[in-house]
């Protein structure tokens, strides 16, 4: 019986004696040369076969920053597929980096529990004017004060140029140099932990970007048996897939071990194809948790998906992948369609208040019934699965950025409807995710941007974006040029909420509701959630009644329409008003001594036991 091949970690690996061992898996080549670049000098060394199609070379006394590349049998130089640092570009030589040299100060940090997660998604390049890890650090206290418990950083794997969402990364192990490189990321994570914030990193294991993608020169990393919307799928189950799987499993381990991240958000797992008996997602989850166990910290592996498939959460011994959490788009779609009136594309399955009710009560709206968008049955039932294992939002980078002009709720909705959206989100029993700037009603757009150096590729992206939105009448309009520097500049946050402004009021509401999630026992009770649309409301009235924590817990009454309404027949009893989204302190018109009826447009009132 043949033994299973053992695939060892790749890259420029610092050894205990200060030297470096280079290892490359290159089954497409009979010989591989390691090329060193020092100043204008070039030195080539024939690497030694190690077995299993790997080649190695060791050097003593190697400094960080040494530039190197691999020359294959076609006499071309290529960066290291497992490069930890690309200080010049995706095309240029790699550089030695020693992650173990960093002096961490987070020895007492143990992570954030799943029940405590309140996630803030940010893009490093547009979160600050500087667009760097270092510039992000001074803003961490403001996020902590807001009530955030973990930041989620959009992908930082090295991508072409200096402007990109991050999903076009081509060096999975290297941290984007324009953000501050690998040392900058370590410093940001360490600072976040000092502030009491976890860090979740968005990683892309379904494809690599189109420019600077050299992995296919070395090994069968890709397959033509499956396809993704963005390029060739990763070969997780075909011939020689063992080395490919190990490459990505080692990558997951690296982020937890060397960068101390508290979680991985796996991009679009519905395009990760694997028909192996053990799915790669289950192996990623296990690898990340093994590293976390060694460090005695918590880690969360979260899948982004539109599948509504609870098998991703089911334990491995029950045929699942055992992931810690999944995204649930249905909550976003239900709230967005109700408040904006949009019905195009995937919103065609939504638009009625009953779907918001179902999202509260059952998580998945599309739970096995027919979907007009997918034109088939879609989804499964969430059942009794812990609601903390579903991540929900009213905005995220996809739902904003994949609009023609990248317009946010800050421009799509009036202030009172934005406040209602915030309350609907933060009263959910699921784990909330807030997109950067949402908390103060940011109006600057977040359109798709990139900086490809290949003119043909750049033009193809422009044409593709225009064609994509031309097919959706309700979203037509001038599509910003993704390659233009101004598209990137316009996406940078204003980060302003002047005293007395609607922005300050909205941010105060987010802070109050995030505090309520921590402090009110009824909101910590994820099992007893019941929403309804009362029977007998008058025509044109969209009233949502939500109970959290049982009949003696929190009662919320929301007017989800643009007209005042009385909401007759809803008994408040002896309950005490805890909060109104229309209060003056949140930017609304209602004074503390105002009568509570009628409900103002898009107002929610929260009552607690008297």
Helices 329-340 and 415-426, axial angle in degrees (round to 10): 160
Whole-number average pLDDT of the chain: 94
Asked if residue 547 is part of any domain, the answer here is yes
463 vs 390: which has the higher pLDDT: 390
**Mean pLDDT of the region 397-402:** 95
Rounded-to-10 torsion of CA 93, 96, 99, 103: -120
Asked if residue 527 is part of any domain, the answer here is yes
Question: What pLDDT does 550 receive?
Answer: 84
Question: What pLDDT does 447 receive?
Answer: 96
Give the 3-state secondary structure of residue 335: helix
318 vs 310: CA distance, rounded Å: 11
Buried b (16+ CB within 10 A) or exposed e, 111-124: bbebebbbbbbbbb
Q: Is the pTM of this model over 0.85?
A: yes
Asked if residue 20 is part of any domain, the answer here is no
Burial of 230 (0-12, 13-18, 19+ CB in 10 A): middle
Question: What pLDDT does 6 receive?
Answer: 82
- The segment with the largest mean pLDDT, out of 372-376, 477-481, 550-554, is 372-376
The confidence band for 91, taking pLDDT boundaries of 50, 70 and 90, is: very high
- The pLDDT tens digits for 181-208 are 999 999 999 999 999 999 999 999 999 9
Residue 609 pLDDT more than 80? Answer: no
384 vs 364: CA distance, rounded Å: 12
- The pLDDT tens digits for 507-516 are 999 999 999 9
Per-residue DSSP letters for 262-297?
A: SEEEETTGGG----SSS-HHHHHHHHHHHHHHHHT-
Asked if residue 107 is part of any domain, the answer here is no
- The segment with the largest mean pLDDT, out of 180-184, 457-461, 538-542, is 180-184
What residue spans of 97-195 are helical by DSSP H?
A: 124-127, 133-136, 140-146, 181-195
Helices 280-295 and 241-258, axial angle in degrees (round to 10): 30
Q: 431 φ, ψ to 5°?
A: -75, 125
Lowest pLDDT segment from 1-10, 107-116, 340-349, 427-436: 1-10
Nearest 5°: the CA angle 139, 143, 145 is 115
Question: What pLDDT does 354 receive?
Answer: 96
Question: What pLDDT does 135 receive?
Answer: 98
Question: What pLDDT does 474 receive?
Answer: 45
Quote the percentage of the chain above a pLDDT of 90. Answer: 87
Residue 488 pLDDT more than 50? Answer: yes
**Mean pLDDT of the region 396-400:** 97
309 vs 363: CA distance, rounded Å: 11
Residue 386 pLDDT more than 50? Answer: yes
Question: What pLDDT does 47 receive?
Answer: 97
Contact yes or no for 430/331 (Cβ under 8 A): yes
* CB neighbour list of residue 113: distance below 8 Å, 6 or more residues apart: 298
Rounded-to-10 torsion of CA 5, 11, 251, 157: -140
Verify cis geometry, omega within 30 degrees of 0, for the bond prior to 428: no
Residue 536 pLDDT more than 70? Answer: no
Give the 3-state secondary structure of residue 382: coil
**Mean pLDDT of the region 548-554:** 88
Asked if residue 176 is part of any domain, the answer here is no
Residue 475 pLDDT more than 70? Answer: no
Question: What pLDDT does 58 receive?
Answer: 97
Asked if residue 197 is part of any domain, the answer here is no
Residue 571 pLDDT more than 80? Answer: no
349 vs 378: CA distance, rounded Å: 11
* CB neighbour list of residue 194: distance below 8 Å, 6 or more residues apart: 105, 106
Contact yes or no for 505/588 (Cβ under 8 A): yes
Asked if residue 112 is part of any domain, the answer here is no
Residue 4 pLDDT more than 90? Answer: no
Domain count, the chain: 1
Contact yes or no for 491/485 (Cβ under 8 A): no
Question: What pLDDT does 400 receive?
Answer: 96
Question: What pLDDT does 2 receive?
Answer: 63
The domain of 538 spans 523-608
Distances (CA, A) of 560 to 180, 565, 605: 44, 10, 12
3-state DSSP of 460-486: HHHHHHHHHHHCCHHHCCCCCCCCCHH
Catalytic sites, residue numbers:
267, 304
Look up the CATH number of the domain holding residue 549: 2.60.40
DSSP state of 15: P
Residue 150 pLDDT more than 80? Answer: yes
**Mean pLDDT of the region 168-184:** 98
Asked if residue 214 is part of any domain, the answer here is no
- The pLDDT tens digits for 200-244 are 999 999 999 999 999 999 999 999 999 999 888 999 999 999 999
- Which residues is 3 bridged to in the sheet? none
Distances (CA, A) of 382 to 167, 267, 309, 326, 390: 29, 21, 8, 11, 9
The confidence band for 376, taking pLDDT boundaries of 50, 70 and 90, is: very high
């Amino acid at each position: 019986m043949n033994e299973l091949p053992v695939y060892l970690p790749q890259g420029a690996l610092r050894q205990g004696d200060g030297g470096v061992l280079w290892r490359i898996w290159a089954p497409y080549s009979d010989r591989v040369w390691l090329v060193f670049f020092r100043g204008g000098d070039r030195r080539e060394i024939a690497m030694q076969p190690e077995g299993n199609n790997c080649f190695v070379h060791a050097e003593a006394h190697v400094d960080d920053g040494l530039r190197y590349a691999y020359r294959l049998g076609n006499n071309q130089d290529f960066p290291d597929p497992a490069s930890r640092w690309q200080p010049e570009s995706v095309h240029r030589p790699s550089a030695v980096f020693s992650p173990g040299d960093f002096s961490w100060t987070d020895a007492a940090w143990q992570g954030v529990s799943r029940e405590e997660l309140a996630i803030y998604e940010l893009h490093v390049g547009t979160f600050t004017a500087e667009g760097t890890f270092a510039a992000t650090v001074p803003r961490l206290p403001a996020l902590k004060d807001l009530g955030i418990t973990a930041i989620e950083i959009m992908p930082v794997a090295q991508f072409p140029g200096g402007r990109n969402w991050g999903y076009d990364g081509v060096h999975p192990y290297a941290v984007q140099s324009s953000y501050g490189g690998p040392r900058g990321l370590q410093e940001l994570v360490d600072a976040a932990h000092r502030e009491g914030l976890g860090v979740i990193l968005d990683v892309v294991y379904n494809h690599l970007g189109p420019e600077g993608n050299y992995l296919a020169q070395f090994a069968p990393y890709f397959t033509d048996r499956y396809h993704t919307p963005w390029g060739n799928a990763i070969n997780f189950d075909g011939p020689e897939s063992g080395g490919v799987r190990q490459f990505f499993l080692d990558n997951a381990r690296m982020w937890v071990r060397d960068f101390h991240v508290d979680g991985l958000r796996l991009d679009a797992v519905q395009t990760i194809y694997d028909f192996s008996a053990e799915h790669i997602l289950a192996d990623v989850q296990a690898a990340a948790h093994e590293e976390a166990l060694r460090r005695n910290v918590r880690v969360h592996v979260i899948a982004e998906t539109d599948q509504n498939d609870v098998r991703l959460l089911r334990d491995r011994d029950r045929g699942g992948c055992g992931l810690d959490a999944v995204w649930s788009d249905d909550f976003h779609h239900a709230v967005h369609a109700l408040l904006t009136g949009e019905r195009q594309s995937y919103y065609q399955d939504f638009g009625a208040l009953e779907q918001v009710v179902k999202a509260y009560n059952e998580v998945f709206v599309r739970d096995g019934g027919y979907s007009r968008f997918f034109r088939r049955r879609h989804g499964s039932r969430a059942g009794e699965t812990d609601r903390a294992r579903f991540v929900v939002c009213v905005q995220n980078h996809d739902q904003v950025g994949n609009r023609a002009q990248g317009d946010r709720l800050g421009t799509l909705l009036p202030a009172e409807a934005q406040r209602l959206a915030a309350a609907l989100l933060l009263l959910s029993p699921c784990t909330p995710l807030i997109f950067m700037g949402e908390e103060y009603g940011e109006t600057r757009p977040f359109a798709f941007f990139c900086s490809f150096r290949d003119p043909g590729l750049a033009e193809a992206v422009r044409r593709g974006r225009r064609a994509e939105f031309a097919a959706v009448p309700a979203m037509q309009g001038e599509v910003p040029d993704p390659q233009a520097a101004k598209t990137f500049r316009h996406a940078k946050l204003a980060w302003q909420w002047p005293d007395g402004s609607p922005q300050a009021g909205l941010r105060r509401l987010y802070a109050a509701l995030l505090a309520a999630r921590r402090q009110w026992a009824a909101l910590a009770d994820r099992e007893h959630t019941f929403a309804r649309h009362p029977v007998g409301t008058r025509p044109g009235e969209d009233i949502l009644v939500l109970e959290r924590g049982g009949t003696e817990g929190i009662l919320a009454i929301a007017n989800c329409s643009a007209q005042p309404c009385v909401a007759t027949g809803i008994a408040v009893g002896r309950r005490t008003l805890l909060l109104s989204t229309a209060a003056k302190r949140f930017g609304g018109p209602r004074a503390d001594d105002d009568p509570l009826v009628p409900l103002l447009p898009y107002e929610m009132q929260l009552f607690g036991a008297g």
